[in-house]
Amino acid sequence: MTTLADVLDVATASHTGMVRPHNEDSVYANSDSGVFILADGMGGYNAGEVASDMATSLLGSTLDDLFAVQPAYSDVSGGKYGEVVLVREISATNRSIYNAAQSNPQYAGMGTTLVASVFHDDAVTVAHIGDSRLYRFRNDALEQLTKDHSLLQEQIDGGIITKAQARHSQNKNLVTRALGVDLSVDTEMHTYPVLPGDLYLLCSDGLNDMIEDEEIAMALEALGANLSLCATHLVQMANDNGGRDNVSVILVRVKCVFPAPISALGAAGGAGNGEHGFWQRIWQRLRYWFR
């Protein structure tokens, strides 16, 4: 049986950049569990690093443990297990960071952005908070799947400012949502179907503020065959352009399909599912053939 690690190729890179004294970004990537997380911390002294590191390591290890017991593709009340658990554990992580900030004066006010993706059953579930992004590169076209929670994005949505003008705004880096700054957090989550050959890019704003989407697309196209080179090159491009912020990337290449095992789906139907399980199996086959 193929495991997720056989399906997903991954490369990460994280760099302080050319200006900042610390790297406040954190990344977490585990192709065995299909969990990929990137966080861009904020807060004085080293609090930003603490917040982003808590976000990636706490959430990452918890999700790994949970998915080792029950696969992310299994159905539970409220949707797929992966989706339900992702939102629940992000809330828990939010409380952990918030409590740490409340109880340690040197961490007061710390917070972090978050983009977390879980691959399961030919799909990717992405949750995000703030302005760290997930892009999908498919058929030589780059598409931004997450929409920033930032003042700038709200202004674009409100028609106050155009996308072209936004590049010249002085109000970048004002996020409207962050992890760890309040008791509760509003997580945005979506699930997208995945196709073989897809290349996913998680990045901090240090990448997309420094280089245009067209340049990102060009790097993914030219270097996609060598993910680790591609990741380091993206960081290098941001630094060559000034590298004014920390820059981090996670690249995930989907090599082939990874449908949920048919037996697992049949079993999920519960008792007396003979008929139901049969049709589900047929449906799975059709999905597999005609994709």
Partner 1 sequence: MAKLILSMDGLVLKDISVSKERMSIGRKSHNDIQIDNLAISGEHAVIVTLLNDSFLEDLGSTNGTAVNGQSIKRHFLQDGDVIELGKYKLKYVNEAVQQTTPADFEKTVVLRPDMLRQTVAQVESKGFGDTQVGAAALGLGAADAAATPVAPVFAEAAHVAPAQPPMAAIQVLSGSGKTLDLVKSLTTLGKPGVQVAVIARRPQGYFITHVEGAGFPVVNGKTLDAQAHALADHDVIEIAGVKMEFFFKS
The stretch near partner 1 (CB under 8 A) out of 6-14, 118-126, 160-168, 275-283 is: 160-168
Comparing CB distances to partner 1, the nearer of 80 and 177 is 177
Can you tell me the distance from the alpha carbon of 247 to that of 112, in angstroms, rounded to the nearest whole number? 14
Which of 49, 53, 121, 245 contacts partner 1 by CB under 8 A? 245
Binding segment toward partner 1, per CB under 8 A, in 79-87, 119-127, 216-224, 273-281: 216-224
Q: What string of H, E and C letters represents the secondary structure of 261-274? A: CHHHHHHHCCCCCH
Residues 191-210 that bind partner 1 (CB under 8 A): 205, 209
Any contact of residue 103 with partner 1 (CB under 8 A)?
A: no
Considering only residues 60, 71, 82, 111, which one is a binding residue for partner 1 as defined by CB under 8 A? 111
- Contact between 131 and 150 under an 8 Å Cβ cutoff? The reply is yes
Smallest gap, in angstroms, from Cβ of residue 181 to partner 1? 5
Residue placing its CB nearer to partner 1 in the complex, 2 or 106: 106
43 lies in the site for partner 1, by CB under 8 A: yes
The answer to whether residue 151 forms part of the interface with partner 1 (CB under 8 A) is yes
User: H-helix or E-strand containing 123?
Assistant: strand 123-129
Q: Is 155 in the site for partner 1 (CB under 8 A)?
A: yes
Q: Which helix (H) or strand (E) holds 126?
A: strand 123-129
Per CB under 8 A, 242 contacts partner 1: yes
- Cβ(116)–Cβ(182) under 8 Å? no
What CA–CA distance (Å, rounded) separates 269 from 54?
Answer: 37
Q: In angstroms, what is the minimal distance from the CB of 209 to partner 1?
A: 7
Cβ proximity to partner 1, 69 vs 164, nearer residue: 164
Strand partners, 271: none
Which of 4/230 has CB closer to partner 1? 230
Say which residues have a Cβ less than 8 Å from residue 38's Cβ, sequence separation at least 6.
Answer: 25, 26, 27, 28, 56, 114, 115, 116, 132, 202, 203, 204, 248, 249, 250
Q: Which residues contact 255 (CB under 8 A, 6 or more apart)?
A: 6, 7, 8, 9, 196
Contact set with partner 1 (CB under 8 A): 19-20, 40, 42-44, 47, 108-111, 113, 130-131, 151, 154-155, 158, 160-162, 165, 167-178, 181, 205, 209, 215, 218-219, 222-223, 225-226, 229, 233, 236-237, 240-242, 244-245
